[in-house]
Amino acid sequence: MVLSKGQKQALDDLLPIAEIALEVDKSELPIRPRTHSLICAPSGSGKSYLMKALGDILDVPILHLNCSSWAPLGGKSEKTTWSSIVEFISAHSKGIIVLDEIDKITSTNTDWLGHIRLEIYDLLDGRIPKSIEIEEESSELW
């Protein structure tokens, strides 16, 4: 992959964080380290491309979610965004979840955006919403 100087620096900064997230057994630690990273840059600067490069280097799959098209639980859509997340996590022991266009979930107080924000908070906190049915008996993702 061809990376710009800025993307290369960002990748160098992200690699240790991603390696901790993917390789360290956090179950025995007294606290659970947060390994989420926020990458801010203008549209078209290659943030998604950078995540693909990170996934390729670490040899892990990537689930790319666009927050502006998030399908909330209880919505009219048959397939919710959470069903995609659970399928991805069930199919892969390790991976990267990219939340793109998170800035589109503004502070506007509509029911739809409020539900989406709560679901994103659950994802970031590693919590599985109560209405999701999964095979394993766990209320946490990581």
Question: What pLDDT, on a 0 to 100 scale, did the predictor assign at position 111?
Answer: 77
Tell me the pLDDT tens digit for each residue of 113-125.
888 888 888 888 8
Tell me the pLDDT tens digit for each residue of 34-50.
777 778 777 788 888 99
Model confidence, pTM? 0.78
Tell me the pLDDT tens digit for each residue of 60-109.
999 999 888 888 777 666 678 888 888 898 899 888 988 888 877 776 76
Reported as a pLDDT band with limits 50, 70 and 90, residue 54 is very high
Reported as a pLDDT band with limits 50, 70 and 90, residue 134 is low
Compute the mean pLDDT over every residue in the chain, rounded to the nearest whole number. 81
DSSP state letters, the chain: ----HHHHHHHHHHHHHHHHHHHS-GGGSSS-----------TTSSHHHHHHHHHHHHT--EEEEEGGG---TTSS-SS-HHHHHHHHHHH-SS-EEEEETGGGS-S---HHHHHHHHHHHHHHHTBPPTT---SS--SB--
